[in-house]
Structure 1
Amino acid sequence: MNTDLPVVVVGAGPVGLAAAAHLAERGLPFTILEAGDAPGASVRQWGHVRLFSPWRFNTDTAARRLLAEAGWTAPDADELPTGAELADRYLRPLAEVAGIAPYVRYATKVAAISRLDTDRLRTPGRETTPFVLYLDDGEEILARAVIDASGTWLTPNVLGANGLPAPGEAAATPWIDHALPDVLGVDRHRYAGRHTVIVGAGHSAATTLLALAELANQAPGTRLTWAIRADAPERAYGGGDDDALPARGSLGSGLRLLVDKGLVELAANFKIRAVRVRPAGVELVSRHADGSERRLAADRVVAATGFRPDHAIVAELRLDLDPILGTTRLLAPLIDPNDHSCGTVRPHGVDELTHPEPGYYAIGMKSYGRAPTFLLATGYEQARSVAAALAGDWEAARDVRLELPATGVCSATLGVKAIAEQLGLDPDTPARLIAATTRHLAAHTSAPEAVLAAAAELGIDENAALQLAAFAAEQFDGASIS
């Protein structure tokens, strides 16, 4: 194949830009095609959300080197950024460095990818035939290889329990929001004083529930119902005090307290089979094998049900997809959410990402198919390995190393429930303290400091606040929250 052709990277999000940084370091020509009008367009959609992993897990090695050459000042490695901060303080500067900026095209959407004059059936000469990318405006771009880092944000899962849109779901679209609405900011008017049903059992659902609980404290009449398919919510609570990322652990522990105190109504074993539009909102219908039905009426619904990859644009390429997850067959057992959390994924690189179509690699969130266990650090190592392989450095490509924060060490606020009860605090205080502490973790270097700051914000008695902070210090033995 003509090696003068560029490697085309689809998507200028964190992982796509990391791939570009590694390609730039290796002197390989590349072009980035981004459907949005700025780097990190999807990240900006949830810009109000604070990540539960600190900066040191959210930046790529090659990207940091390029940024350092441009005079970039790295954020505090232990600080927790919001999505907007990730985009403004890291992705935008990275996209503007001299080695990347000339090769990024914004507002450029890829409609389809194939081989030049070669459909999926044709084999002779396939490996040496350039890729052709069709753009929405009819333009065609040739490439020696394609790195698809387009993500899954634009293809959320549906409400229907069968994996298909529930009857009536499309008609109810005006009342349904997808994951991570800004309920305390620009979207507040949609939820204040209303009944919202949050569907889903992952981190996105937990984040939204905690924010809505805070809104309920501010706006009388705000009600929350949490609908999950499982019989019990324990798995959704996550690692709790065994979580190496305190902010991630606090999501689960905060959610548990909200349910325990009745601030969130739990609808377990709720399998949505129909959505009905009503004069004042929608009704979700759960239907079971015995024919019985349960119904939830709501003013609004948040579908925090995860995401799925869209393989339609590569229908003419030869992909070997795992029938369950929709990822490569070699990667699937390494990331299966039935067996793995975010932090127990084994190191993997180009070999596990390879399809029968040589030169096409899906990396980042899209590489995980329907598995919700992706972390940015995983995508960065994928990008490094694939770039090394495209440069012919197979030794580096196969030397994959990955250090992830396992579900395994600590949460700043677990245990406050018992302490609060001993101190005679209001029953809803622990849940409110959890939500407030989650916000303050970003601005403090230790868990006890975050607890104290949250307690002061909520007007909790100083003596009680000191005891709560002492509890956190005892749990962490004075360790940093990182």
Structure 2
Amino acid sequence: MNSGCCGPAAPAEQTAQTVQTVPAVRDEQAGRAVRARAVDPRLDALPVAVIGAGPAGLAAAAHLAARGLDFLLLEAGPRVGASIARWGHVRTFSPWKYDIDAAARRLLEATGWNAPDPDWLPTGAELVERYLAPLAAHPAIAPQLRLNARVTGISRTGFDRVRTTGREQAPFLVRLADGGEITARAVIDASGTWATPNALGACGLPAHGEAEAEAAGFVDHALPDVLGADRATYAGRHTLVVGAGHSAATTLLALAALAGDVPQTRITWAIRAGSAARAYGGGAADALPARGALGTRLRELVETGRVTLLTGFFTHSVTVDGGAVTVVGRDPSGNEQKVAADRIVAATGYRPDHSIASELRLDLDAVLGSTRALAPLIDPNHHSCGTVPAHGADELAHPEPGYYAVGVKSYGRAPTFLMATGYEQVRSVVAAIAGDWEAARDVRLELPETGVCSSSLAEAQEARVGLATGVGGGLSAAPLPLAGVGAAGNEGGCCG
């Protein structure tokens, strides 16, 4: 993934929700977006290249297949949903009925596929096994899927970024790590952010010593399998978790469960904020009950002393002394806090890597790394995941017509992405590539607020499986933490 991939829309029966619609004729605000232009007719014989076979990439493939458009689906990993499989032990905070794209559902149901229990909160592994793998095996998609096909660069055939005349008539050139090249009429980049985690350092730069090989051996990034494959690494040891998002919360809950079995296990949680109130979220009032339960349980762990919370902790340096690692936090006033631990979990979020598109003409927001038109709609300084307005091809377009980054990568460094948002993005983008601008601009999105409804759904699941244990989707959890999926672990973020 980072593929990191994400939570859902709120249930239709809930009354407290944000509903955003965009009519076919857009107003002046939309006019300020960078407009995509129709693909030149001479390129129609070429396929659309879709990069990444996670939820957004496979949904794009389903929409392209439904419209009869030729495509190639390129996945860097050895299987579809390869990034999600990395957090397969984590349970999402959104039930199945909001985790399945509409076009993908239609394709699958036509082959006799039985949808999972709509009210079940799937783990990452279940998301892959019950949905993504069957979708990838569908005869409309399987022949166009290439695994172990890592993209290393995208350009225009015969054109670097500077050359203009005739540019829009030139096919895209997609270069692969094995040296192969593909020409395409358009590119949908759903490669995610899982491979590019943020630094541990609080200023966005690596902490002093963080990049050294010796220190790196003590650092794990978001969502280790604390109760499963990685149990021996954490049992009976002192772990420092850095970050204030859902990935951090998920790991903290798992570590607390481990400490119940192995009392010598110690847990310290460090955040930059002066309070953890934002990390605790909406509690029982959350529109996604499992997400609310996550914050409620975390608060209990801190208040009972099972987790030691350090606020105002700005990671500055990491040093190794034998079998332990010392992390120093230094705030803007120069005050220091010091923690000696056995392991560090850096749940500090992810950022997009636009280097593969460096020869394309991108219009990126200077702060978030999303498109300039999308940035004000998703700015985490002003929006939670439930208040992001509907958006589609217009807001995702670059000066390079025919190239779109979608899914969690489209949000850049904003930690407010939800899976349902990605599905609506790709629906709109594929409509635009097909030249159906009426459908492309008729964007509709229903998203949950972070503090609105009852916890009956989470309670029902707990009755069936104990608490969720595995650990919830900081990208997208089971008997323990339920977490969200999506922007895994961006500090201060609201949605997984």
Match of 1:259? 302
Q: Output the CA distance in 2 between the equivalents of 1:64 and 1:389.
A: 21
Q: Output the CA distance in 2 between the equivalents of 1:193 and 1:59.
A: 39
Match of 2:436? 393
Identity, in percent, stands at 65
Match of 1:118? 159
Match of 1:50? 91
> Pick from 61, 69, 81: which aligns with 1:40?
81
Match of 2:65? 24
Q: TM-score normalised to the size of structure 1?
A: 0.86
What's the CA shift for 1:375? 0.8
2:197 is the alignment partner of 1:178: no
> Pick from 419, 442, 450: which aligns with 2:461?
442
3-state SS, counterpart of residue 72 of structure 1: coil
Match of 1:334? 377
Pairwise CA RMSD: 1.6
Query: Gapped runs of 5+ residues in structure 2?
Result: 1-41, 468-496
3-state SS, counterpart of residue 235 of structure 1: helix
Instruction: Give the letter aligned to residue 77 of structure 1.
Output: P
What's the CA shift for 1:411? 5.6
- CA displacement, residues 227-253 of structure 1 (integer Å, 9 cap, x when unaligned): 001111111111112211110001111
Match of 1:101? 142
For residues 253-402 of structure 1, the aligned pairs below 5 Å read 253-402=296-445
What's the CA shift for 1:155? 0.5
Q: Output the CA distance in 2 between the equivalents of 1:398 and 1:72.
A: 31
Q: TM-score normalised to the size of structure 2?
A: 0.84
Q: Output the CA distance in 2 between the equivalents of 1:46 and 1:196.
A: 19
Whether the aligned pair in 2 keeps the contact of 1:249 and 1:410 (CA below 8 Å) is no
2:119 is the alignment partner of 1:78: yes
Instruction: Give the letter aligned to residue 254 of structure 1.
Output: R
Query: Gapped runs of 5+ residues in structure 1?
Result: 414-436, 455-482
> Pick from 211, 226, 235: which aligns with 1:192?
235
Q: Output the CA distance in 2 between the equivalents of 1:381 and 1:153.
A: 21
2:169 is the alignment partner of 1:150: no
What's the CA shift for 1:125? 0.8
- CA displacement, residues 175-206 of structure 1 (integer Å, 9 cap, x when unaligned): 00000000000000010000000000000000
- CA displacement, residues 137-172 of structure 1 (integer Å, 9 cap, x when unaligned): 111110000000000011111100110111100121
Q: Output the CA distance in 2 between the equivalents of 1:162 and 1:176.
A: 18
Q: Output the CA distance in 1 between the equivalents of 2:45 and 2:332.
A: 60
Instruction: Give the letter aligned to residue 229 of structure 1.
Output: R
- CA displacement, residues 251-308 of structure 1 (integer Å, 9 cap, x when unaligned): 1111111111111000100001111111122111112344332111110000000000
Q: Output the CA distance in 1 between the equivalents of 2:454 and 2:83.
A: 29
3-state SS, counterpart of residue 445 of structure 2: coil
Whether the aligned pair in 1 keeps the contact of 2:281 and 2:451 (CA below 8 Å) is no
2:53 is the alignment partner of 1:12: yes
> Pick from 198, 207, 231: which aligns with 1:166?
207
Q: Output the CA distance in 2 between the equivalents of 1:278 and 1:344.
A: 46
- CA displacement, residues 301-321 of structure 1 (integer Å, 9 cap, x when unaligned): 000000000001000100011
Instruction: Give the letter aligned to residue 391 of structure 1.
Output: A
> Pick from 223, 227, 232: which aligns with 2:266?
223
3-state SS, counterpart of residue 404 of structure 1: strand
With over 3 angstroms needed to count, the CA separation of the structure-2 counterparts of 1:211 and 1:308, relative to structure 1, is same
Instruction: Give the letter aligned to residue 182 of structure 1.
Output: D
With over 3 angstroms needed to count, the CA separation of the structure-2 counterparts of 1:342 and 1:441, relative to structure 1, is farther
With over 3 angstroms needed to count, the CA separation of the structure-2 counterparts of 1:118 and 1:294, relative to structure 1, is same
What's the CA shift for 1:410? 3.4
Match of 1:434? none
> Pick from 444, 448, 462: which aligns with 1:405?
448
What's the CA shift for 1:337? 1.2
3-state SS, counterpart of residue 32 of structure 1: strand
Q: Output the CA distance in 2 between the equivalents of 1:141 and 1:406.
A: 42
Match of 1:141? 182
Whether the aligned pair in 2 keeps the contact of 1:55 and 1:80 (CA below 8 Å) is yes
Match of 2:290? 247
Q: Output the CA distance in 2 between the equivalents of 1:289 and 1:359.
A: 44
Structure 1 or 2, whichever has the larger Rg, is 1
Q: Output the CA distance in 2 between the equivalents of 1:124 and 1:244.
A: 51
Aligned length: 425
Normalized per residue, which structure has more helix? 1
Q: Output the CA distance in 1 between the equivalents of 2:332 and 2:441.
A: 49
Instruction: Give the letter aligned to residue 160 of structure 1.
Output: G
Q: Output the CA distance in 2 between the equivalents of 1:292 and 1:79.
A: 47
Ranked by relative contact order (alpha carbons within 8 Å, sequence separation 6 or more), the top structure is 2
